[in-house]
Each structure stands twice: as C-alpha cells, then as structure tokens.
Structure 1
C-alpha cells in the first residue's frame, strides 16, 4: 500500500511540474487572444474568472489596455498588480 501511495505521489508531482513548465511564466499573455486555460494560469484567476474575461471580451470587443481588465467583474487592482508583468494587449 505504501509503495502505491509513493508512486501516486511521484506521478502527481511530475504532472504538476510539467504542467507549470508548459505555462511559460516568463512569457507575456495577450489578454485579447488567450484561452481559458492560459488565463486560469494567472495568479488569482481561476477557471470561472478566466471564462468571465473571455465573456467580457466577446461582448465588449478587445481590451485596449491591460488596465481595462479591471472592468471584468471579480478582477480587482490587486490581481492586475500581481500579474502586470505577464499581461499584454495586441
């Protein structure tokens, strides 16, 4: 039983490590083109907020500036500040 738990833990850790590596944390995220999975990788943004961002974008058109992301319900100044270096608009 202990061996199974150990192997399961190793698989989980490997999955997490490879998932984070594929997110490219140093790469800027274009909030006008990013999908739910990409947006959900931002700090303080889960799947629900990512879907809200895309919904807002579809209803109101592309974001003109990164700070316009603050117009999305649930996205506050702290979230913008935390992710400022990772966000861009194109």
Structure 2
C-alpha cells in the first residue's frame, strides 16, 4: 500500500507540473472565445457592448439586443435565457456557454 501511494504521488506531481507550464500566446489570430476564456467569463447581466462582442458570434447588434432584453426583462436568471434574445440561437449559446456567467 505504501508503494502504491508513492507511485500515485509521483504520477500526481508529474501531472500537476505538466499543467503548471505557462502558455505563450499564439502568433496566429486568436478566436474571440479563446480571448474571453483567458480573461474570465463574461457576466451577461453587467457586461456592456464592448464586453459582449468578445463572445464568438456576437457583434454589436446582438450585443445591443442582449442589453435591450436585459433592460426590458431584468437580469438573466440562467445562461439558457439568451435564447430569448432575437438573433441568439442554440449554436451561438453552445459556442459561448463556458465563457458566460450570471
């Protein structure tokens, strides 16, 4: 049992060390969703147009529609409510789900 714990400790430390390596920015253009992921999720209840346009598939018009929906209906209670915003479909929601918070 002691030997097994030693092996597990070594494996765990090795995995942790491999994840601790700093990631350099890619010289290629970065997809908007990746930029958002690096900066933290966007709160759709407080974000302005500039912040919302960082989401993949969200331009100025859709960002304005999100804010208009928020002003008319109050804060979003769930990320899924974005479907209620004109121009936001299931595909857009799925592309950004990990980068959105309430």
Give the TM-score normalised by structure 1. Answer: 0.72
What residue number does 1:68 align with?
Answer: 81
Give SS of 1:25's match. helix
Aligned pairs, number: 70
Verify the 8 A CA contact 2:36 2:99 in the aligned structure 1: no
Gaps in structure 1 of 5+ consecutive residues: 1-15
Superposition RMSD in Å: 1.7
State how far apart, in whole Å, the 2-side matches of 1:35 and 1:48 are.
Answer: 12
Per-residue Cα deviation, 1:14-56 (whole angstroms, up to 9, x for no partner): xx88xx7xx5533011000000000011000000000000000
Structure of larger gyration radius: 2
State how far apart, in whole Å, the 2-side matches of 1:88 and 1:30 are.
Answer: 5
Runs of 4+ in 1 over 4 A off after TM superposition: none
Per-residue Cα deviation, 1:36-85 (whole angstroms, up to 9, x for no partner): 00001100000000000000000000000000011000000000000010
State how far apart, in whole Å, the 2-side matches of 1:71 and 1:24 are.
Answer: 22
Gaps in structure 2 of 5+ consecutive residues: 1-28
Higher relative contact order (CA 8 A, sep 6+): 1
